[in-house]
Amino acid sequence: MNLSRLFLFIICIASARAQSPINLIPQPVSILPQNGIFTLNKKTTIQYNQAEGRAVADILSQQLNRPTGFGLVAKSGQTGTIQLNLTSTPDAQLGQEGYRLDVSAKGVLITANRPAGLFYGIQTLTQLLPKEIEGKDAATRTWTLPAVKITDYPRFGWRGIMLDVSRHFFTKDEVKQYIDQLAKLKFNTFHWHLTDDNGWRIEIKSLPRLTEVGAWRVARSGHYGDLAEPKPGEPATYGGFYTQNDIREVVAYAQARNVTIVPEIDVPGHSMAALAAYPELSCTKAAVSVNPGTPFSEWYGNGTFKMKVENTLNPSDEKVYDFLDKVFTEVAALFPNPYIHVGGDECYKGYWAQNPGCQALMKQLNLRHVEDLQGYFMGRVEKILMAKGKKLLGWDEILEGGISSGATVMSWRGIKGGIEAAQAGHNVVMTPSTFAYLDYVQGDPTIEPPIYAALRTRTSYGYEPVPDGVDAKYILGGQGNLWTEQIPTLRYAEYMTYPRGWALAEVFWSPKEVKNWPNFVQRMETHFERADVAKINYSRAIYDAIIKTTKNGDKLRLELEGEIPGLDIYYTIDDTMPDQFSTRYTQPIDLPDGPITLRTITYRSGKPIGHLITLSRDALQKRAR
């Protein structure tokens, strides 16, 4: 974007603020506020000019009818007060997913090259309406839209969110509900993590034990990773799976909302659920159970680890490839998109190193390192996928053993793998844990349920998917990942997704030049209100104080800051409860010696808005860098 275009955008935003509250997420490419408003009423008509636009028009009428009660019916035609038009000659600026939205006092016109563009146009249209449009029940109010001209199209073609349904099973209706939320934010890819150590969730008719055994584990409550082993004879009652008809239903639902589903079958590691069903596919051939969340591995802090229980397929056993051929034959038939994600991450190779068959295969292939067997394994898997017309997609570990030029890499261990893959000519989806892992704690770890890392919304919003020195043509886009070890319900999945998912929606859709954190915060807070109406859960951690400590000689120095503008931070260290009459934080302070306790809370406009956070001196000491 050149300077003149950026200046125009700023003027448009300023004008929008002055005339009407236009608070869209993700931010469009161009917004030109106009004079006047359009009022939606029972006489409003919805029409589409080409048959391909009918499905989108029907979705719009459904979105509008439930909260308004108007009973609008979409029809073919060119005179609707809400008119959806597909171009007869493609508009090069809009591409496959862009749209133009023109709202005036007379009506609404949405123009696009493809139905996907119309779909994204109606999502923007809905966001222009009052927040009650998000409700599930009819509301009595005036339904107005500000007059505006919007031109919009995405920065990246891959805008994704991954949901892990292995650690905890989510029903097909819950998955559809989650997809519906993502589609409204203009995400177009749903990465469905269907298999792992803790459950196999997809029916494979030629291998029935995968769901008869692999989809179920013993029930456990408590913190994931610390749970007890299954007892002898204990029934496995917790879990579930999707039938192939379930899969088809969800795929069709997603397609209607312009969301592509990418299935993941995680191999050769993370395969304990498969091995519980077919233990002969492992090196030891020992019986294992679907893991309920026990501490089955040891991590050493430098990225290396050891598995206490075997969870890897045997790369030297031809029966493994026969098994995978059956699995991918059925998976490929269910998902029309070109990709199948094959995992490839965190594959422990200790059992391979001790296996005679693996050692013989290494000798045959003239491999010096057992790690190189994964490259051989992935090469075999890619051939299986290619025979079914599919492309291989995997986590960045697939680079370590060597992969073909046609493989696509998902970079999760920071951005390093994505840079290496792009420089080697691979297509890349950027999903680094440091910016895009939605299972990470999003506020102070003393407030949030514990997990091993933290990620604030401001950090996610600040992400730039194209690293310096990398040709942007290899960066397909980006994705947020929601691993569910600690997420047992859809309600909590929403809490962990938003508002970070809103931030990533803007990172992947909007021009990077117009990103502005204070402006996003303003729009985000209006979406809190809309989410309340929609009964969608979200985190309010952005209102909490950020607490840091450093060493200043022999003193412990305290630093407090707010994640968003406009917060006042008050604190006490005298064992009293803080309020707006306590000490207001203005600059770093050296804490006095002794067994003090910090208590801090945020206010805005004279009212408490954040959580009370309480930290002992020992806890503060542990945070010191």
Q: Kindly give, in sequence order, each residue whose CB lies less than 8 Å from that of residue 501, ignoring residues fewer than 6 positions away.
A: 161, 182, 185, 438, 480
- Stated as kind and residue range, the H or E segment containing 273 is helix 272-277
Q: Tokens 């995968």 label which residue?
A: 210
- For residue 301, is pLDDT > 70? yes
- For residue 373, is pLDDT > 80? yes
The token pair that represents 623 in the structure block:
């945070």
Q: pLDDT at position 20, please? A: 54
Q: Nearest CA to 476 among 98, 155, 157, 188? A: 157
Q: pLDDT at position 244, please? A: 98
The helix/strand count (H/E) of the chain reads as 18, 29
300 pLDDT band (50/70/90 cuts)? confident
CATH for the stretch 3-152: 3.30.379.10
Same fold, 158-510 and 544-623: no
Q: What is the pLDDT of residues 11-53, one digit of tens each?
A: 444 443 334 579 999 999 999 999 999 999 999 999 999 999 9
Number of neighbouring beta carbons within 10 Å of residue 265: 23
% of the chain with per-residue pLDDT over 70: 97
Provide the 3-class DSSP secondary structure of residue 279. Answer: helix
Q: Tokens 């005179």 label which residue?
A: 79
Domain residue spans of the chain: 3-152, 158-510, 544-623
How does strand 199-200 pair with strand 195-196? antiparallel
Q: pLDDT at position 400, please? A: 83
Q: pLDDT at position 462, please? A: 97
Q: pLDDT at position 456, please? A: 98
CA angle 167–169–170, rounded 5-degree value: 130
Q: What is the pLDDT of residues 553-571, one digit of tens each?
A: 999 999 999 999 999 999 9
- For residue 191, is pLDDT > 70? yes
Please tell me the distance from the alpha carbon of residue 500 to that of residue 505, in angstroms, as a whole number: 9
Q: Is the peptide bond before 26 cis (omega within 30 degrees of 0)?
A: yes
- Is the CATH number of domain 158-510 3.20.20.80? yes
Please tell me the distance from the alpha carbon of residue 279 to that of residue 287, in angstroms, as a whole number: 6
- For residue 329, is pLDDT > 60? yes
406 pLDDT band (50/70/90 cuts)? confident
CB 508 within 8 Å of CB 159? yes
610: burial class by Cβ within 10 Å (0-12, 13-18, 19+)?
buried
Provide the 3-class DSSP secondary structure of residue 266. Answer: strand
- For residue 9, is pLDDT > 80? no
CATH class for the region spanning 544-623: mainly beta
Q: pLDDT at position 21, please? A: 72
Identify residue 478 by its one-letter amino acid code: G
- For residue 403, is pLDDT > 90? no
Q: Which has the minimum average pLDDT: 248-262, 350-364, 396-410, 476-490?
A: 396-410
Read off the pLDDT of each residue in 436-463 and give the average, rounded to a whole number. Answer: 95
CB 149 within 8 Å of CB 102? yes
CB 465 within 8 Å of CB 473? no
Q: Kindly give, in sequence order, each residue whose CB lies less than 8 Å from that of residue 208, ignoring residues fewer than 6 positions away.
A: none
- For residue 166, is pLDDT > 60? yes
Q: Nearest CA to 410 among 335, 457, 474? A: 474
- Stated as kind and residue range, the H or E segment containing 617 is helix 617-623
Q: What is the pLDDT of residues 378-394, one digit of tens each?
A: 999 999 999 999 999 99
Q: Which CB contacts under 8 angstroms, 24+ apart, belong to 538-541?
A: 538/494, 538/495, 538/497, 538/498, 538/499, 539/442, 539/443, 539/495, 539/496, 539/498, 539/499, 540/610, 541/442, 541/443, 541/444, 541/447, 541/448, 541/456, 541/457, 541/611
**Three-state SS letters, 485-548:** CCCCCHHHHHHHHCCHHHHHHHHHHCCHHHCCHHHHHHHHHHHHHHHHHHCCCCCCHHHCEEEE
Instruction: Rounding to the nearest 10 degrees, give the CA dihedral for residues 434, 437, 443, 447.
Output: -130
The token pair that represents 322 in the structure block:
């026969």
Please tell me the distance from the alpha carbon of residue 161 to that of residue 192, in angstroms, as a whole number: 9
Q: Nearest CA to 224 among 452, 444, 538, 455? A: 452
Residue 402: left (phi > 0), alpha (psi -120 to 50), or beta?
left
CB burial string 204-242: b at 16+ within 10 A, e below: beebeebbebbbbbbebeeebeebeebeeeeebebbebb
Q: pLDDT at position 405, please? A: 83
In terms of DSSP H, where are the helices of 538-602?
none
C-alpha of 309 from chain center: 30
Q: Is the peptide bond before 499 cis (omega within 30 degrees of 0)?
A: yes
412 pLDDT band (50/70/90 cuts)? very high
DSSP assignments along 374-415, one per residue: HHHHHHHHHHHHHHTT-EEEEEGGGGTT---TT-EEEE-SSS
CB burial string 544-561: b at 16+ within 10 A, e below: bbbbebeeeeeebbbebe
Provide the 3-class DSSP secondary structure of residue 253. Answer: helix
Q: pLDDT at position 229, please? A: 93
Kindly report the pTM of this predicted structure. 0.95
CB 198 within 8 Å of CB 224? no
Q: Which has the minimum average pLDDT: 79-83, 320-324, 367-371?
A: 367-371
Q: What is the pLDDT of residues 199-223, one digit of tens each?
A: 999 999 999 999 999 999 999 999 9
Q: Is the peptide bond before 268 cis (omega within 30 degrees of 0)?
A: yes
Q: pLDDT at position 303, please? A: 78
Please tell me the distance from the alpha carbon of residue 349 to that of residue 358, in angstroms, as a whole number: 10
CA angle 185–190–193, rounded 5-degree value: 140
Provide the 3-class DSSP secondary structure of residue 109. Answer: strand
Instruction: List active site positions.
Output: 196, 270, 346
Q: pLDDT at position 10, please? A: 45
